[in-house]
């Protein structure tokens, strides 16, 4: 469930980066939106394949060059001819022109404008690539580790070259899917809100699985699916809010969601007891203001409902559980893929700092 949510979220985030890059390139260049999406997708894929220190250094170099170009453009002579097309302006958004302040059309010569536009587009691809690189890396890690390493290949028989090949194929497939989704021109806001609700439905079950011994697989999965099943109709207005009962139910669940969010934050900083007090106090303070009004804010209330429903369902299913989970079993289930013994240390490996270390076990 957690891996599946990460796959969906990473694909949507990757699609959002491609849509943003394609729109900006279509705005500042003769390329169309689809061509811009393909250009950004190619840059993301190449950046990820060629990742590491070299790619980071290249991105930093382009940022420095962009800063130098902007500085030179500001200090250029305002009397040189420019080839930038005059853009329509509105007096509501721009200040009154001044005789002592040169306009954009008077500040950049034609050749320099072309160079700056090209550098600007390259910087867009570089910035989006550095952001989407983490999404592609997460997708490849999930497929090659959780799917291939844990399920397809037998324990101890996963080959490093095969895992690398699976990871790179995953990057290509994920980029292709993201390009197709970007070409559909879906609403980015709705997609990102859905990802936020998806991860919001996972927050309490995931945190509880680290600290609470009573949580079960059935409680985890049921809580997440139920939260998503409630979030979707609330978010897209399928719930008749003119019915008082439904509106009040959404307001109450949203108020509980506020308590869940603040309680988990307090738990992370100050511990369980403080988290409980903060969560209950937040619900008590929010509820009087939420009743009758919070359901009018669809996006906010739907996301808070996802938090509250997943928490309540998980508690209802797992609290009666008398069995406890043995956390020491995690090491046996998700251990190292390579179970071969470590090679003896040599002076060369010790001096180079490349000796192999034993993987630490979970002690919870």
Total Cβ atoms within 10 A of residue 155: 13
- Percent share of the chain, pLDDT over 70: 67
- What is the helix, strand, coil percentage profile of the chain, to 5? 70, 0, 30
Looking at the predicted structure, is the pLDDT value of residue 177 above 50?
yes
Do 212 and 75 share a structural domain? Answer: no
DSSP conformation class of 152: I
Stretch among 43-52, 143-152, 172-181, 206-215 having the lowest mean pLDDT: 43-52
Residue 33 placed within a domain = yes
Least reliable range by pLDDT among 102-116, 267-281, 288-302: 102-116
Which of the pair, 302 or 123, is modelled with greater confidence? 302
Burial 119-130 (b: 16+ CB within 10 A, else e): bbbebbbbbbbb
| Pair 113, 83: CB distance under 8 Å | yes
Provide the pLDDT for residue 357. Answer: 43
Q: Collect all residues with Cβ–Cβ distance below 8 Å to 292 and sequence separation of at least 6.
A: 247, 248, 251
Looking up tokens 């200040």, which residue turns up? 95
Q: Which residue would you say has higher pLDDT here, 95 or 21? A: 21
Residue with the bigger pLDDT between 218 and 363: it is 218
Q: Tell whether 181 and 203 lie within a shared domain.
A: no
Residue 310 has pLDDT above 90, yes or no: yes
| Whether residue 265 sits in one domain with residue 116 | no
Pair 309, 233: CB distance under 8 Å:
no
Asked whether residue 353 is assigned to any structural domain, the reply reads: no
Find the mean pLDDT for residues 2-13.
78
Mean pLDDT on 114-128: 71
Residue 82 confidence (pLDDT) above 50: no
Domain assignment of residue 119, given as a range: 2-84+103-186
Which residue, 186, 219, 251, sits at the end of a domain?
186
Q: Answer yes or no: is 347 within a domain.
A: no
Reported as a single tens digit per residue, the pLDDT across 223-246 is 999 999 999 899 888 888 888 889
Digit-coded pLDDT (tens) for 213-227: 888 888 888 999 999
Same domain, 213 and 299: yes
Phi, psi of 335 (to 5 degrees): -90, -160
> Residue holding tokens 């690398």?
164
Structure tokens at 42: 């190619």
pLDDT band at 105 (very low <50, low <70, confident <90, very high): very low
- Closest C-alpha among 229, 198, 173, 209 to residue 5: 198
Q: Are residues 207 and 124 in the same domain?
A: no
- Is pLDDT at 52 greater than 80 in this prediction? no
Residues 194 and 182 in one domain: no
Average pLDDT, the chain: 75
Residue 130 has pLDDT above 80, yes or no: no
Give the three-class secondary structure for 240. coil
In a domain, 118, yes or no: yes
Residue 204 lies in a domain: yes
104-108, 179-183, 306-310, 318-322 — most confident range: 306-310
Domain finish residue from 162, 186, 210: 186
Q: Is residue 226 part of a domain?
A: yes
Structure-derived torsion over alpha carbons of residues 10, 14, 15, 17, reported in degrees to the nearest 10: 140
Given a cut of 80, is residue 78 above it in pLDDT? no
Using the 3D structure, point to which of 318, 343, 358 is the last residue of a domain: 318
Residue at 162 is within a domain: yes
Distance CA 293, CA 305 (A): 14
Q: Is the pLDDT reported for residue 328 higher than 70?
A: no
Q: Which residue has the higher pLDDT, 177 or 54?
A: 177
In a domain? residue 326: no
Q: Is pLDDT at 67 greater than 80 in this prediction?
A: no
Among the ranges given (176-185, 253-262, 293-302, 341-350), the one the predictor scored with the smallest mean pLDDT: 341-350
- pLDDT of 99 over the 80 cut: no
Residue that wins the pLDDT comparison between 274 and 98: 274
Place of tokens 């930093």: 60
Residues 177 and 211 in one domain: no
Confidence of residue 54 (pLDDT cuts 50, 70, 90): low
């Amino acid at each position: 469930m957690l891996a599946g949510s990460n796959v969906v979220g990473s694909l949507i985030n990757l699609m959002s980066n491609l849509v943003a890059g394609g729109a900006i390139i279509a705005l500042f260049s003769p390329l169309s939106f689809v061509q811009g999406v393909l250009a950004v997708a190619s840059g993301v894929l190449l950046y990820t394949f060629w990742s590491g220190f070299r790619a980071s250094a290249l991105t930093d170099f382009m940022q420095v060059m962009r800063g130098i170009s902007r500085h030179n453009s500001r200090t250029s002579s305002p009397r040189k001819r420019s080839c930038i097309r005059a853009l329509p302006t509105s007096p509501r958004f721009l200040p009154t022109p001044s005789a002592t302040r040169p306009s954009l059309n008077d500040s950049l010569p034609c050749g320099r404008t072309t160079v700056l536009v090209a550098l600007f587009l390259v910087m867009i691809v570089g910035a989006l690539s550095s952001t989407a690189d983490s999404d592609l890396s997460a997708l490849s890690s999930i497929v090659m580790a959780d799917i291939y390493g844990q399920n397809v290949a037998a324990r101890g028989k996963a080959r490093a070259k095969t895992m690398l090949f699976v990871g790179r194929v995953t990057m290509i497939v994920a980029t292709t899917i993201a390009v197709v989704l970007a070409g559909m021109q879906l609403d980015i806001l709705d997609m990102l809100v859905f990802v936020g609700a998806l991860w919001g439905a996972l927050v309490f079950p995931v945190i509880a699985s680290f600290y609470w011994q009573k949580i079960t697989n059935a409680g985890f999965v049921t809580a997440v699916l139920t939260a998503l099943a409630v979030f979707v109709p609330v978010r897209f207005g399928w719930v008749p809010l003119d019915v008082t009962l439904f509106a009040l139910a959404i307001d109450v669940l949203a108020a509980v969601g506020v308590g869940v969010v603040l309680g988990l934050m307090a738990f992370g900083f100050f511990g369980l007891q403080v988290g409980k007090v903060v969560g209950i106090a937040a619900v008590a303070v929010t509820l009087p203001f939420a009743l009758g009004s919070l359901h009018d804010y669809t996006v906010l209330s739907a996301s808070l409902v996802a938090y509250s429903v997943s928490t309540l369902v998980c508690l209802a299913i797992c609290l009666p559980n008398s069995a406890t989970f043995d956390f020491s079993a995690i090491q046996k289930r998700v251990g190292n893929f390579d179970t071969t013994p470590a090679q003896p240390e040599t002076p060369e490996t010790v001096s180079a700092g490349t000796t192999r270390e034993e993987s630490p076990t979970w002690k919870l």
